[in-house]
Amino acid sequence: MYLGIDVGSITTKMVIIDEADRVLSKIYLRNSGRPIETIQKGMEALWNQLGSGILIQGVATTGSARQLAACLVGADLIKNEITAHSVAVVDLFPKAKTIFEIGGQDSKVIVLRDGVVVDFAMNTVCAAGTGSFLDQQAARLGISIEEFGDLALKANHPVRIAGRCTVFAETDMIHKQQMGHTVVDIVAGLCDSLVRNYLNNVCRGKEILTPIVFQGGVAANQGIRKALERELETSLIIPEHFGVMGAVGAAKLVKKARPSRSQFKGFDLPGKSCETRGFECDECGNQCEVIQLLVDHQVAACWGDLCERYRHT
Task: Determine what percent of the chain is predicted with pLDDT higher than 90.
Answer: 42
Q: DSSP state, 192?
A: H
Confidence of residue 125 (pLDDT cuts 50, 70, 90): low
Q: Rounded distance, CA 131 to CA 70, Å?
A: 25
**What are 158-169's pLDDT values in tens digits?**
888 876 666 677
User: What Cα–Cα distance (Å) separates residue 57 from each residue in 47, 206, 241, 304?
Assistant: 15, 38, 22, 29
Percent of the chain with pLDDT over 70: 95
pLDDT tens-digit readout, 69-104: 998 899 999 999 999 999 999 989 999 999 999 877
Q: Per-residue confidence at 128, pLDDT binned at 50, 70, 90?
A: low
Contact assessment for residue 292 and residue 72, using Cβ atoms and an 8 Å cutoff = no
DSSP code at position 1: -
Amino acid at 126: C
Q: Decide if 9 contacts 238 (C-beta within 8 A).
A: no
Residue 261 CA from chain centroid, whole number = 28
Residue 242 pLDDT exceeds 80: yes
Model confidence band, residue 249 (pLDDT cutoffs 50, 70, 90): very high
Secondary structure of 98-122 in the HEC alphabet? EEEEECCCCEEEEEEECCEEEEEEE
Q: For 6-65, how does the pLDDT look when each residue is reduced to its tens digit (9 = 90+)? A: 998 788 999 999 999 999 999 999 887 888 899 999 999 998 888 777 889 999 999 988
Q: Please, what are the domains in the chain?
A: 2-84+247-271 (3.30.420.40), 94-238 (3.30.420.40), 274-303 (no CATH)
pLDDT tens, position by position, 272-295: 888 888 888 888 888 888 888 888
Q: Regarding predicted confidence, which is higher, 189 or 255?
A: 255
**Helix, strand or coil, per DSSP, at residue 284:** coil
The SS3 of residue 110 is strand
Q: Taking the model in full, what pTM does it have?
A: 0.86
Q: What DSSP state is assigned to residue 307?
A: T
**Over 70: is that where the pLDDT of 112 sits?**
yes
